[in-house]
Structure formats: structure tokens, C-alpha cells
Amino acid sequence: MVVDRNTVPLAMGDVRITFNGTVEVPGKVEFIHPLHNLAVVSYDPKSIGNTPVRAATLRVKDLGAGDDVWVVGQRSDSKIMSQRTAVSSVDAVAFSLVAHPAVFATAIWRP
């Protein structure tokens, strides 16, 4: 699954994925993009049993103006929304860097 880097800012640590607020399974960070706001997390599909989940079909060809697409997102109240729309234009975009939590190392010296 693809998540934002505020959800998974670092590759180290434990990842837990919750489906429908009821099924929690372990996950693994597979990839964190160094510049763009995305990370890829995997899980074992067998671990969610009969939970109704299906894979998104990704388009292989480049998009162009006028192509039909679905926009999927999550509202601030956690409701998933989707809407069919058309690409108006394809332009370069500048993504801001993600603010990472500060990690401090402390050394204890004992002579």
C-alpha cells in the first residue's frame, strides 16, 4: 500500500496496519521516496483473512489532458472519498520536503 511520509517517516521501527478499524496486522516498509511525500508498505494478504480488500489497478501508460481518472483520498473525518474526473493538464509539480521527527542519540560515558 502507498501512504504519505507523515504516516511512515522512517524505515526503522514497527509498522501496524489496521483494516476497517477491526483487523490489525504487521507491515513492512518496502520503500520511502527521498523527495516525494510517499512510502510503500507491504503486508501478508493471508493475515487479514476474509476482510474485503482488493488491489488498485495502476495504469501503465502516461496520462494526458482529457484522460479519465479516479481521484481517491481521505477526508479529515477519515472517510474515504473517490470521484471520477478528467486530467486537465500535465505539468511539472514541486513537492515540499516532509518534516521528520527529530531523533536524538545520547551517549552515556562511564569510566
Tens of pLDDT, residue by residue, the chain (111 residues):
888 888 888 888 889 999 888 899 999 999 998 877 888 999 999 999 888 888 877 778 889 999 999 888 778 887 888 999 999 999 887 766 656 555 555 555 555
**C-alpha triplet 77, 4, 59: angle, nearest 5°:** 100
User: Per the confidence metrics, is the pTM higher than 0.95?
Assistant: no
* Alpha-carbon distance values, 49 to 2, 20, 44, 55, 103 (Å): 21, 13, 10, 15, 36
